[in-house]
Amino acid sequence: MTRDTPHESARSHVRGRSEFVDDRPPLRGELLCGLVVSPHARARIVAVDGTGALAIPGVACVLTAADVHHNRWGPIIEDQPLLADGEVHYVGETVAIVAAASRDALVRGVRAVVVEYEALPAILSIDAAVAAASFIGVERTIARGDVEDALARSPRTLQGRLTIDGADHFYLENQAAIAYPCDGPQIEVHSSTQHPTETQHVVAHACGLGARDVVCVARRLGGAFGGKESQASPIAAYAALVTKATGRAARLVLSKDQDMIITGKRNPFQIGWRCGFDDDGMLRVVDAQLHSDGGAYADLSTAIMERALAHCDNAYFVPAMRVRGRVCRTNVHPHTAFRGFGGPKGVAMIESIIEAVADATGRDSLDVRRANCYRPGHDTTHYEQVVENNCLPELFERLEASCEYRARREEIRRANAQRPERARGLSLTAVKFGISFTTRFMNQANALVNVHADGSVQVSTGAVEMGQGVNTRIAALVAEELSIPQESVRVMPTSTEKNANTAPTAASVGTDVNGAAALDAARRIRARMSALAVRLNDLPREQWPSKCAGVGSAPEIEVAAPSADLSYCGIPFAKLAFECIRNRVSICEYGHFRTPGLSFNKLTGRGRAFRYFTQGVACSEVEVDTLTGEVKVRRVDLLMDIGQPINRALDLGQIYGGFVQGMGWVTTEHLVYDSGAKLLSHSPSTYKIPNIQDTPRRFRVDTIDNNGNTANLRGTKATGEPPLLLAISVWTAIRDAVQSVRSLGDGDGASAIVDLPIPATAERVLRALSPDAFWGVEHSGEVPSRHLGKKR
């Protein structure tokens, strides 16, 4: 059904006419809000004095924890205060809200609030948290087989450690919310949120209102990537608290610096692993311990860890596997969802193991990957879900041939021997990404479809448009179902008064579940319209409802039993819609969908966790300057199985964009904190996201034709998150280049496992190229001035 219509907001975006939260014109009397935040990683609040701020002309109020009706929130565990009370637990934690009538008064008011602190010891790393037994939640384990016995029986074993740092979402539209007072106690909040329902509930609890008195609207987001799934809610609550206190509209929009300092990131991970394998590189066992940095409060970190554990197999069958995960509580901003959730951490782990096994056996890493790939007879995950519609062997085979992997591998070997100072690396990795929330009740959606008398259609769902094109796809689905042009369908801004109790737009299921709910409603409307069309076809036109319903000169046509014929009998859709209204046949419908077949048991770590898997492979070639550590991505060939796409152009956009964002995560996006856990890289000048010069010099994306995905609506597969994980091929290609240089050197460390954290910044690449050169300067920042590419 692919019809590559443009994104529904494309024209308004390029003309600058798309409305985001802060584009809404200010109301008369509207207040601007600012936040007073903690400068300490951990401290006791001795006193908060806002009298100086209140004395400034234009300052309307200063709110503290005492002004919050219910001062605890959290998407899984309610452990985080909206406003700090008694202690602060991270730099950037909100202590007070200031509201003022002008920007100048607001800036002065925020500075005038006096907070007295008593500094307390803080936990600032995963290692420190483990040593102090500072954890969030319980340890989770997913296991299959006798791991210890398999390790003892394996012909060869290895062990290693992988460090994965966090990353910032760097959405273009910062956290933003406007609260408007309505009749009585009611408040309407316009929020840049992925989860309007949660935002509605947090606002209601904070203000002491029922959910009936709060409406949350999310028209569109200027990017989110998971960063607005949970952490948009307190921003909206702060604005709503000011509205409740003053009776005036209140606007809170964070600057980029404020946003980056205050909000959580992708969880840092530390992973220790052991594996057993044979001389051919066949994996027999993997045992891993994953620790993540959750930050000061739980947020979504326990669910992120669960997805990491579920993706530790990635594309490979491991007969015996045990993966254990623990979330650490530290004194940094609470980390949160990010595109891929925990999946990239598990995938990076198993891909690093594959690389180490390839080095140890002297085999090409692609051969090790293909040997261990899921295939018939070896197609059950470590949590006992069968990998159905498995396209991985085909994807590997096709991309290996189309990207000329073998010839390029030989050419790179020759080039590296001749010019090691410009070392090149090549790697081909895969992704098998599970599509569903692992929390079962979240896999549901509802939709309201209204057909109007002129034949035009409005659709409202719980999906939030944040650039990915979910509105365009849902419009296409409804238009196809009703057999009308897509231009006749308008998807409305997401609002909790139309679609309540919805899940966040996350986990790559926005179109899957909301589109299915919209189809459910559209099918029932079509059935009723078709039933009336059949009856009308047997009547003279002068007896149609539009001709006589007004004077009641003819009996009403009964259409209680829908016809098996779902055609409109040649009657134009708009005409038939008008006839339905005149005959009191409803052409408005509320649809609901819940993902079938999910059976994952969180207690046992067993069952069907995902409805299906989106799969893909990518081959990346990089060039590493061994003098500076600079990396350039020379070429990327990417091949994905996305089923039968609703809109292939939008899917390709997701693939390109997701991969480049993943490149940033594994190469340049380095979060730097000072010794007190204050983020230093909190602006575009200090935090390096990919720009146009960083994109691959040659970038080819293709898809396979797959008609075998019967699990999802219209045979489609999600593309929101999976492409990001394919950028791990850039990291493994850098590792390949480093290993090539080390093998050409003096032999020291050439056979050791390459220690290359994520992100592989230029400094880290230099350290990996020559670990001994950095002995004694680990924390000095000094870079030894030796040539790293040639043997001395």
- Catalytic machinery residues: 721
Q: What is the DSSP letter of 758?
A: B
Measured CA to CA, the distance from residue 59 to residue 37 in angstroms comes to 18
Residue 536: exposure state from Cβ atoms within 10 A (0-12, 13-18, ≥19): buried
CA of 237: how far to CAs of 81, 82, 208, in Å?
12, 8, 11
**393: which residues sit within 8 A by CB, 6+ positions away?**
370, 373, 374, 375
Count of Cβ atoms closer than 10 Å to residue 341 Cβ? 30
* Tokens 């509205």, residue located: 243
Note whether 247 and 280 are within 8 A (CB): no
Helix then strand then coil, in percent of the chain rounded to 5, is 35, 25, 45
Candidates 256, 89, 245, 80; CA nearest to 168 is: 256
- State how far the alpha carbon of 271 is from the alpha carbons of 162, 276, 349, in Å: 5, 17, 7
Of residues 633, 565, 678, the one with CA closest to residue 92: 678
* Cα gap 670→17, rounded to integer Å: 34
Determine the angle formed by the axes of helices 392-402 and 365-372, rounding to 10 degrees: 160
Reading the block at residue 59, the tokens are 């300052």
Question: What single string gives the DSSP state of each residue in 133-166?
Answer: T-EEEEEEEEEES-HHHHHHH-SEEEEEEEEE--
Radius of gyration of the chain (CA): 28
Cis peptide before 555 (omega within 30 of 0): no
Give the C-alpha separation, 305 to 300, whole Å.
Answer: 9
Alpha-carbon gap, residue 612 to 589, rounded angstroms: 28
Q: Which of 747, 395, 434 is nearest to 598 (CA)?
A: 434
Burial class (CB in 10 A: 0-12, 13-18, 19+), 748: exposed
Burial category of 195 from C-beta neighbours within 10 Å (exposed 0-12, middle 13-18, buried 19 and up): buried
What span, in angstroms and rounded, lies between the C-alpha atoms of 627 and 645?
45
User: Do the beta carbons of residue 614 and residue 645 sit within 8 Å?
Assistant: no
